[in-house]
C-alpha cells in the first residue's frame, strides 16, 4: 500500500485539541504547592479511626469477645549505658547484646555509609528495641543494632564527643521485660515488616519537595534534585500525585513516582512538554517515562537530533491510529503477548520489556513512511526479519494493513 510521504503524510498530521483550564494549576489545588506546615491534633486522628471501617471492625470484635489490650504492656523507655549490652560471663559467653537468631548479621558497609559526614544526623538517631530478662536484668537488642553499633564505635574512635568511655554513654532504649525468645523473634518481624507502614515512593518525594519549598533547606542534593524534577514537570502541566488522592486521573496527573525519578532533568523536560502540548487533556500514562528515556538514550547514542517536527509526527500518529498513548501502550502489550506466544510458546518464556513501547513507536513510524532518521538499533529490536514474525506484525490488522510494503 502506498500513501503520501513526509509532512503531507496524513497518519502524522496532528489535530489540535482545545485546551481547557486545569484545576491543578490554580493556587492551593496542588498538594506539593504548600507554603507552610500545619498541625493536626491527636483527637482528629482518633475521630478518623472511629469512622474507619477496619478499626470499627476491630473494636466490635474485641468487645464481642470481651478482650482488651493491657496498657501496662506498652514498652518502657529509658537511657541505658551501652555497656549494659556488652556483658560476658566467666566462661566467655555473652549474656547481653544482640540475638544472633533475631538480628541480621552486622552490615559494616551499611554502618560505614550512614555514619559518613553529611549523612548521619545524631538528632535523628532512633531508639533501639530490646527485651530485658526479668531474672537476670540483662538486655537483648532485637532491633537497632546498626545504629547503636555505629554510635558506640564513633565514641570509641573519638569521632563523637563524649566525656567518658563508650560503655558509659546512655542510649535511648524501648524495652519490655520477658524471657520469651519467640516474642523477640516475632517482634523483629513486626518492627521490620507487616507491623510497620513502609514509606511510599510518593511520600518520599513529597518530603523532599517540602524540605526545599517549605523549609528552604537545600543542604541535601537529593532533595534538591527531586524538587527540581517536580518543578520541571509542574511547569509543563504535569503533577505528581499520591495514589490515594481524589485528583488522580485528572489531566496531567501521574502516580508512577519511581519511573519519573529515574529520568534526567532533560528527559523529564522533553517528556512533560510533549505531553502538555499534545495530550494535555489526559492524565499521564506510565508509557511516557519509558518512551522518552528510551528516545533520549537511543537518539543520543546514534548522534541523531530529535526535532520538534518528529515529536509532532509521533503525536499525530498516536492520535490518528490509537487516540492516545495510553491506548498505544495497551495495544503494544496485546501485541507482545501474541508475539511471545507465537514465537516462544507462552508469555512467561519471554517476559514484557518496557523498551518495546518506544521501539514499536519508531518501527511503526518508519513502516508508515516516516522520513525522520531513527536509530537503527531501534528498528532491529524484536525484529525477526521475516514477514509476519516480528513484534510489529502482531498489532491489529487495521494498523498493519496501513504499513508501506
Confidence (pLDDT) at 146: 87
pLDDT of 2 reads 40
Write down which residue in 127, 147, 179 finishes a domain.
179
- In whole angstroms, give the CA distance from residue 309 to residue 301: 20
- Per-10-residue mean pLDDT for the chain, 405 residues long? 55 93 92 80 84 86 85 79 89 83 77 83 86 88 86 90 91 86 66 63 90 86 95 98 94 97 98 98 97 98 97 97 97 95 88 96 96 96 85 95 86
Retrieve residue 383's grid coordinates.
Answer: 525484529
Are both 154 and 247 inside the same structural domain? no
Q: Contact, 88 vs 95, CB < 8 A?
A: yes
Distance, CA of 132 to CA of 55 (rounded, Å): 31
pLDDT at 5: 40
For residue 20, being part of any structural domain is answered with no
Its domain, for residue 54, covers 38-68
Sign of CA dihedral 253, 256, 259, 260: positive
Residue at 187 is within a domain:
no
CATH value at residue 120 = 3.90.1530
11 and 137 inside one domain: no
**Count of the separate structural domains present in the chain:** 3
Q: Over the stretch 308-350, which tens digit does the pLDDT of each residue have? A: 999 999 999 999 999 999 999 999 999 999 999 998 888 888 8
Please report the pLDDT score of residue 3 as a whole number. 42
Q: Which three cell numbers stand for residue 78?
A: 529509658
Q: Tell me, letter by letter, the H, E, C secondary structure of 15-82.
A: CCCCCCCCHHHCCCCCHHHCCCCCCCCHHHHHHHHHHCHHHHHHHHHHHHHCCCCCHHHCCEEEEEEH
Residue-level pLDDT at 53: 87
The DSSP H or E segment spanning 10 is: none
> Are 157 and 213 part of one and the same domain?
no
Based on the fold, state whether residues 313 and 244 are members of the same structural domain: yes
Same domain flag for 277 and 308: yes
Distance CA 129, CA 58 (A): 26
pLDDT at 215: 83
Q: Check: CB of residue 205 under 8 Å from CB of residue 199.
A: no
Show the CA angle centred on residue 276, arms to residues 272 and 281, nearest 5°.
130
Q: How far apart are CA 143 and CA 152, in angstroms?
A: 15
Assign 138 to helix, strand or coil.
Answer: coil
Instruction: Indicate whether 185 belongs to any domain.
Output: no
* Residue 10 within any structural domain of the chain: yes
For the record, the C-alpha cell of 199 comes out as: 514509606
Q: Let me know whether 257 and 229 are in one domain.
A: yes
Q: How much is the pTM? A: 0.73
**142 and 272 co-located in one domain:** no
Within a domain: 320: yes
Rounded CA-CA distance 301/293 in Å is: 12
319 lies in the same domain as 391: yes
Do residues 263 and 377 share a domain?
yes
Query: In this structure, are 322 and 211 located in the same domain?
Result: yes
Please tell me whether residues 252 and 145 are part of one structural domain. Answer: no
The answer to whether residues 135 and 221 belong to one domain is: no
Amino acid at each position: 500500500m502506498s500513501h503520501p510521504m513526509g509532512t503531507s503524510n496524513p497518519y502524522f498530521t496532528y489535530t489540535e485539541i482545545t485546551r481547557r483550564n486545569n484545576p491543578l494549576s490554580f493556587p492551593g489545588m496542588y498538594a506539593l504547592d504548600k507554603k507552610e506546615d500545619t498541625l493536626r491534633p491527636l483527637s482528629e486522628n482518633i475521630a478518623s479511626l472511629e469512622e474507619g471501617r477496619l478499626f470499627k471492625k476491630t473494636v466490635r470484635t474485641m468487645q464481642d469477645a470481651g478482650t482488651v489490650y493491657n496498657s501496662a504492656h506498652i514498652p518502657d523507655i529509658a537511657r541505658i549505658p551501652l555497656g549494659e549490652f556488652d556483658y560476658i560471663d566467666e566462661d566467655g559467653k555473652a549474656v547481653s547484646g544482640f540475638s544472633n537468631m533475631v538480628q541480621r548479621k552486622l552490615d559494616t558497609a551499611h554502618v560505614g555509609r550512614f555514619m559518613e559526614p553529611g549523612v548521619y544526623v545524631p538528632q535523628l538517631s532512633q531508639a533501639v528495641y530490646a527485651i530485658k530478662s526479668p531474672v537476670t536484668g540483662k538486655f537483648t537488642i532485637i532491633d537497632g543494632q546498626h545504629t547503636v553499633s555505629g554510635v558506640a564505635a564513633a565514641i570509641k574512635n573519638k569521632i563523637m564527643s563524649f566525656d567518658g568511655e563508650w560503655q558509659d554513654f546512655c542510649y535511648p532504649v524501648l524495652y519490655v521485660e520477658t524471657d520469651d525468645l519467640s516474642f523477640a523473634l516475632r517482634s523483629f518481624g513486626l518492627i521490620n515488616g507487616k507491623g510497620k507502614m513502609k514509606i511510599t515512593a510518593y511520600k518520599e518525594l513529597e518530603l523532599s519537595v517540602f524540605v526545599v519549598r517549605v523549609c528552604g533547606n537545600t543542604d541535601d542534593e537529593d532533595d534538591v534534585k527531586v524538587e527540581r524534577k517536580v518543578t520541571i514537570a509542574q511547569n509543563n502541566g504535569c503533577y505528581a500525585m499520591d495514589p490515594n488522592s481524589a485528583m488522580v486521573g485528572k489531566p496531567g496527573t501521574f502516580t508512577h513516582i519511581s519511573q519519573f525519578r529515574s529520568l534526567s532533568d532533560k528527559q523529564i523536560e522533553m517528556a512533560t512538554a510533549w505531553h502538555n502540548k499534545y495530550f494535555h487533556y489526559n492524565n499521564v500514562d506510565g508509557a511516557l517515562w519509558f518512551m522518552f528515556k528510551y528516545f533520549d538514550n537511543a537518539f543520543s547514542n546514534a548522534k541523531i537530533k530529535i526535532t520538534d517536527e518528529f515529536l509532532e509526527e509521533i503525536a499525530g500518529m498516536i492520535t490518528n491510529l490509537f487516540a492516545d498513548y495510553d491506548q498505544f501502550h495497551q495495544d503494544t502489550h496485546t501485541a507482545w503477548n501474541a508475539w511471545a506466544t507465537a514465537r516462544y510458546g507462552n508469555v512467561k518464556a519471554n517476559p514484557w520489556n518496557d523498551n518495546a513501547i518506544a521501539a514499536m513507536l519508531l518501527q511503526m513510524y518508519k513502516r508508515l513512511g516516516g522520513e525522520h532518521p531513527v536509530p537503527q538499533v531501534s528498528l532491529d529490536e524484536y525484529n525477526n526479519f521475516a514477514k509476519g514474525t516480528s513484534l510489529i506484525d502482531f498489532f491489529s490488522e487495521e494498523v498493519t494493513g496501513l504499513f508501506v510494503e
